[in-house]
A and B are shown apart, each in its own frame.
Chain A
Amino acid sequence: MATNRRDFLTAAVTAVGAAVTPDLSHAHQHDHEHQAVPSDPTLRVKALESLLVEKGLVDRSALDAVVEAYEHKIGPRNGARVVAHAWVDPAYKQRLLTNATAAIAELGYSGPEGEQMLVVENTPKVHNLVVCTLCSCYPWPVLGLPPVWYKSAPYRSRAVIDPRGLLREFGLQLPGDVELHVWDSTAELRYLVLPERPPGSEGLSEEALSGWVSRDSMVGTAKVVKPTEGDRP
């Protein structure tokens, strides 16, 4: 039933797409058996957007503003600033660990998928790893939108049953006696890992420190290390 529905939708939205693409419309008229549906969803999405704009359900410039924000403003550099600030300011770190949402908002970060935040701290004895086995829950205001691997079946399935094997695939070998805490964020709280401050970072400014903090270290799939030339955190 649902599959039929989807086939129907594909066909239907393609019909809409055809209206704005004369060549495709022409091809469709002449051969109904032929799969004129483009595998690329580009046309379907264009058609849907036009429909929603015409119906007054979305505003194109609002969509542009949303894309702009998540592509250029809301990303892991925000989380890196939170981490670096916690490393240099013990009182802030305390606030971050006891009331993460408010402490993160102090630095100006809040919004969807960050309404209720928790920060979990890595230490020499405890390593934290974040996953959402049911979905793709991720702390957008501090890390931006999740990478494909975080939303993928291999990561979601293994993070809870074989976290050490998974971390090895990321190149992180945890000592056997380190406690590993996996946070399956299936409810409404979102998690940020506070990684350990690495050796060799003494004396660096907060700004320079934040440049060392990678996205993966704040999910728990990596540790913070001194960046090498050409690396993008």
Chain B
Amino acid sequence: MNGIHDMGGMQDMGPLQYEKNEPVFHADWERRVFAMVWATDTPPGSRYQRELIPPSEYLRISYYEKWLTAFVELMLKHGMITQAELETGKPVSSTPKGKLLTASQVPTELTKGDPSVRNVPVTPRFQTGQRVRARNMNPVTHTRLPRYTRGKIGTIERDHGVFVFEDTQVQQLGEKPQHVYSVRFTARELWGEQASRHDSVYIDMWDDYLEPA
């Protein structure tokens, strides 16, 4: 989706706001939002749900407000909570949709994570050193292909192996495992002659994002 979240290359977003000795959280509610999102057994799609926040809101609200908004939307979407429950604060259904993470399970989960590498044989379509073009595509759903790379020519620097394809996974269309490559774009290819000839951008791209150049 060509949303406001796809910010690479935009200009005039203002000066950097740097806070010295910044705390991990700025308010107690941020702690709770982070932990709830972390601990709740929601289906994939949190990140896409944040991308769906309307642009004016996206720019106005804080990071953890985005998390909170998207978290509630995602749970509603998947029937984990209902609008009535939100209104009254009282559970209607007592059968929880999703596994409950207990405190004793937290230490293990903290070290485990959720790997998206898949150990399945998939033939790579591209080789290291090959010139490729990022496809010119404009899906209206979740994608990890930033606008500023579309149609641009780069070089495959490294094959990272086989990964879950987020574009389909988020839509519940399956994992569609495929190779992910580190693709190098020169800054001049991306931005023209104004860019330094010593600069490049490296982006990890799924096979489906690329075509031979």
Min Cβ gap A72→B in Å is: 9
Is A58 an interface residue when CB atoms closer than 8 A count as contact? yes
**Contact, CB under 8 Å: A188 / B98:** no
12 A-B pairs with CB atoms under 8 Å apart are: A3-B57, A16-B89, A44-B29, A63-B39, A116-B163, A148-B26, A149-B18, A169-B15, A178-B198, A186-B203, A187-B144, A188-B204
Min Cβ gap A55→B in Å is: 5
Interface size of B by CB at 8 A reads 100
**Closest residue on chain A to residue B199 by CB atoms:** A180
- Taking A3-B54, A55-B81, A152-B16 as contacts, is the C-beta distance between A115 and B117 under 8 angstroms? yes
**Contact, CB under 8 Å: B8 / A110:** no
Is A183 an interface residue when CB atoms closer than 8 A count as contact? yes
A 81-122 to B, binary, CB cutoff 8 A, 1 in contact else 0: 000000000000000000000000000001111111000000
Min Cβ gap B127→A in Å is: 19
Is A211 an interface residue when CB atoms closer than 8 A count as contact? no
**Closest residue on chain B to residue A8 by CB atoms:** B83
CB contacts (< 8 Å) of A186 on chain B: these are 144-146, 203-204
User: How far, in angstroms, from A149 to B13 measured CA to CA in the complex?
Assistant: 12
CB contacts (< 8 Å) of A35 on chain B: these are none
CB contacts (< 8 Å) of A28 on chain B: these are none
Is A205 an interface residue when CB atoms closer than 8 A count as contact? no
**Contact, CB under 8 Å: A157 / B203:** no
Is A172 an interface residue when CB atoms closer than 8 A count as contact? no
CB contacts (< 8 Å) of B160 on chain A: these are 116, 189
A56, A57, A134, A179: the one contacting B146 at CB < 8 Å is A134
User: How far, in angstroms, from A41 to B26 measured CA to CA in the complex?
Assistant: 12
CB contacts (< 8 Å) of B39 on chain A: these are 58-59, 62-63, 66
**Contact, CB under 8 Å: B8 / A160:** yes
CB contacts (< 8 Å) of A58 on chain B: these are 36, 39-40, 100-101
CB contacts (< 8 Å) of B50 on chain A: these are 135
CB contacts (< 8 Å) of A149 on chain B: these are 16-19
CB contacts (< 8 Å) of A164 on chain B: these are 196, 199
User: How far, in angstroms, from A64 to B104 measured CA to CA in the complex?
Assistant: 11
CB contacts (< 8 Å) of A148 on chain B: these are 17, 19, 22, 26, 63
Residues of B within 8 A of A (CB): 5-11, 13-19, 21-22, 24-29, 31-36, 38-41, 47, 50-54, 57, 59, 63, 65, 68-69, 72-73, 80-81, 83, 85-91, 93-94, 96-98, 100-103, 105-107, 109-117, 144-146, 148, 160, 163-164, 166, 180, 187, 190-191, 195-196, 198-206
A 132-149 to B, binary, CB cutoff 8 A, 1 in contact else 0: 011110000000110111
Q: Interface centre among A42, A63, A169, A177, by most B CB within 10 Å? A: A63
Which 3 interchain pairs have the tightest Cβ spacing? A133-B8, A16-B89, A187-B204
How many A residues are at the interface, by size bracket? 35 or more
- Taking A2-B52, A153-B13 as contacts, is the C-beta distance between A111 and B110 under 8 angstroms? yes
B26, B34, B80, B83: the one contacting A67 at CB < 8 Å is B34
User: How far, in angstroms, from A140 to B117 measured CA to CA in the complex?
Assistant: 18
CB contacts (< 8 Å) of A184 on chain B: these are 8, 146, 201-203
A 174-197 to B, binary, CB cutoff 8 A, 1 in contact else 0: 001111111111111100000000
**Contact, CB under 8 Å: B112 / A111:** yes
**Closest residue on chain B to residue A70 by CB atoms:** B24
CB contacts (< 8 Å) of A47 on chain B: these are 89
Min Cβ gap B128→A in Å is: 15
- Taking A116-B160, A187-B204 as contacts, is the C-beta distance between A12 and B14 under 8 angstroms? no
Is A154 an interface residue when CB atoms closer than 8 A count as contact? yes
**Contact, CB under 8 Å: B7 / A153:** yes
Is A45 an interface residue when CB atoms closer than 8 A count as contact? yes
Is A75 an interface residue when CB atoms closer than 8 A count as contact? yes
CB contacts (< 8 Å) of A206 on chain B: these are none
Min Cβ gap B209→A in Å is: 10
- Taking A12-B87, A148-B22 as contacts, is the C-beta distance between A67 and B31 under 8 angstroms? yes
**Contact, CB under 8 Å: A61 / B103:** yes
**Contact, CB under 8 Å: B5 / A161:** no
**Contact, CB under 8 Å: B205 / A187:** yes
